[in-house]
Chains A and B, each alone.
Chain A
Amino acid sequence: MSGAAPEGPVLSVDHLSVVSRDSKKKILNDISLDFPPRSLTAVVGPSGCGKTTFVRTLNRMTELTHSLRVSGAVRYLGQDIYQSNVNPVLVRRRIGMVFQRPTVFPMSVFENAAFGLRILHESDAEIDRAVTEALVRAGLWDEVKTDLNGSALALSGGQQQRLCIARALAVKPRVLLLDEPTSALDPAATQRIEQTMLRLKEDVVLVLVTHNVSQAARVSDRVAFLHSGRLVEVGSTADMLERPKDPLTEQFITGRFG
């Protein structure tokens, strides 16, 4: 969104592995994958295959869990985010995240959306403008515009989730990670979020974790299939769903496990 469109991938994962310090288990095993501009990549795979862990490595959320050790590189516009002189706070401002269940804060709708801007000490005028824009982009504006000062906790689950998307968008990240953002929502709310994602992918690189193959089919243009911590296969959504190369992928998308 901000600045000129970059050449090459926005985010590039290079031989990434994650090991649990406690059990010595390899949660992610040697994953390499690029995320080009204007893409929505769905990360699919059976439960426990490492999808959540994978997206959390993409903005250094993994280090909030002390028991995980990350090796390999994740490059954002060519900069390895795991280098020691990189500030994780800045990483997370460029690479936002939305969680499985809505994580609104106990404050007003407006203050929730303004959260990331307030901590950047933006001017009030700028915050007003950016919050409105973010709420519009998240597809929530029409529902909340008359009561921006109402408590965010009073919103429905689907509205809360779109508010979380707005909060992430307000700081204008270039990448947005979504970890099963609709798994706690009903079909109507899910559809609203899917529409939001389709609009957003024009200017934000989206990485969507989902256990739902049909959701991947509806919104993504690329699918990455993880299994037991390995990247089994990645390709365009059409190819992956209609002509998977790997038998494991085929089994998964035809619903034989997962």
Chain B
Amino acid sequence: MATSTPTGSVLPRDEVLFDRSLRTRWRLGFDRWIGWLLPLLFLVAIVPIVDLVYFVVRAAYPVLSWGNLTNTQPYANQNGNAVGLALIGTFDLMAIATAVAVLLGLFGGIATAEFLSERSAGWVRTSVNMLAGTPSVVVGYFGYFAFVLYFGWGLSLIAGALTLSFFMVPYIFRTVDLAYTSIPRPIREAALGSGARPYQYILKVGTPIAFPQVLTGVFLAMAIGLGETAPIVLTTLPSLLVPSSLNSGVTFLTYLIYDGFNHPSTGPGSNELAKAFEAAFLVMMIVIALNVVVRVFAARYKKRLEGLYQ
């Protein structure tokens, strides 16, 4: 059973590599087309993002100024577009929420990865996933009932920050859990086999290995927290003053966005809509900055861990 090939030679049938069947031709064609299609789809995805960034930057540009960013008196500037107050408010909220979330996420994640039995760990992971999937307004109501009413802290910086931390804990928890469980088993066993107690293993061996991932989780959780609006609106009170205590009211960046669109032109001589765009621009910049920091850190630490357990 010999067949001639397009190059002219005659070969036994099962040695022939050419294949002109329809199916093969279709598959090869598909492979070629998908090579064009994917960049196209990427463009489709990127265009709205670029457009969004452009839209926000254009709207925010006229009112962006150092004076507006640093002035904490909301209606003081001539055009009344100072966002310093909200910038500080967001910083305060994020600082407290991050501290609380890192503490809970880190301890919870390490405990789940290292100390809990498979079964209890499964339950904890499921609960955390449920928390992550809860609609933010529901979490906001919970924060309202728990912190504002039950603990009696009122609409306040601390109530808002703790509610905010609920959104960050799952992300930090999950990255910490994953970071520690993905450390090669033999590395863990070698540490314990050298006579280390589990906490010594975690401090001296596990943490240096898990650190880059943990840091990534923390930064991404901050980016998530930064965008949350509704739950903090529900648990804080907008204020015209820089927070002076945990019970103070607080104005924050996403509140300006929310408020600017609801009441586009309130306030003496101010343009709340421009202010909303200014705030949106800042949130966007901070999120981008966080992501850049994550990438730089991750790349650097990856290099340092190269060759681990080859």
Contact = CB atoms under 8 A, between A and B. Distances in A.
B is bound to A: yes
Interface of A: 59, 61, 64, 66, 89-90, 92-93, 96-97, 99-107, 115-116, 118-120, 151, 153-154, 157, 164, 167-168, 171
Contact of A153 (B192, B205, B308): B308
Interface of B: 117-118, 184, 186-197, 200, 204-205, 208-209, 304-310
A140 to B, nearest CB: 16
Given A103-B187, A153-B305, A153-B306, A115 B204 contact: yes
Contacts, number: 83
Given A89-B197, A157-B310, A105 B305 contact: no
Which 9 A-B pairs give the minimum distances between C-beta atoms? Answer: A93-B195, A103-B190, A153-B307, A97-B193, A116-B194, A92-B195, A119-B200, A103-B186, A105-B205
A100 B197 CA distance: 22
Given A61-B189, A102-B309, 4 more contacts: A66-B117, A89-B196, A115-B191, A116-B194
A41 B188 CA distance: 26
Contact of A171 (B189, B191, B194, B197): B194
Nearest to B305: A106
Contacts of A153: 305-308
A96 B195 CA distance: 8
Contacts of A93: 194-195
A90 B195 contact: yes
A104 to B, nearest CB: 8
Nearest to A67: B118
Nearest to B190: A103
B192 to A, nearest CB: 7
B193 A61 contact: yes
Contacts of B194: 92-93, 96, 115-116, 119, 167-168, 171
Contacts of B208: 105-107
B208 to A, nearest CB: 5
Given A102-B310, A153-B306, A116 B195 contact: yes
B121 to A, nearest CB: 12
A158 to B, nearest CB: 12
A89 B186 CA distance: 17
Interface majority SS on B: helix, strand, loop or mixed? helix
A135 to B, nearest CB: 15
Nearest to B118: A66
29 contacts: A59-B193, A61-B192, A89-B196, A89-B197, A92-B192, A92-B193, A92-B195, A97-B190, A99-B190, A101-B309, A102-B309, A102-B310, A103-B187, A103-B189, A104-B308, A105-B187, A105-B191, A105-B204, A106-B209, A106-B305, A106-B308, A115-B196, A118-B204, A119-B196, A119-B204, A153-B306, A157-B310, A167-B190, A171-B194
Contacts of A61: 189, 192-193
Contact of B309 (A89, A97, A103): A103
A106 B212 CA distance: 13
A100 B189 CA distance: 12
Contacts of A103: 184, 186-187, 189-190, 309
B197 A101 contact: no
A105 B189 CA distance: 11
Nearest to A160: B310
Contacts of B305: 106, 153
A89 B197 CA distance: 7
Nearest to A173: B195
A241 to B, nearest CB: 30
Contacts of B304: 106, 151
Nearest to B193: A97
B292 to A, nearest CB: 25
A99 B191 contact: no
Given A106-B208, A106-B308, A119-B200, A99 B189 contact: yes
A135 B156 CA distance: 60
Contacts of B306: 153
A188 to B, nearest CB: 17
Nearest to A88: B192
Contacts of B309: 101-103
A115 B186 CA distance: 16
A247 B200 CA distance: 48
B185 to A, nearest CB: 8
Contacts of A116: 194-196
Nearest to A92: B195
A236 to B, nearest CB: 29
B59 to A, nearest CB: 47
Contacts of A115: 191, 194, 196, 204-205
B193 A96 contact: yes
Nearest to B306: A153
Contacts of A59: 193
A102 B196 CA distance: 18
A151 B304 CA distance: 9
Contacts of B195: 89-90, 92-93, 116, 119-120, 171
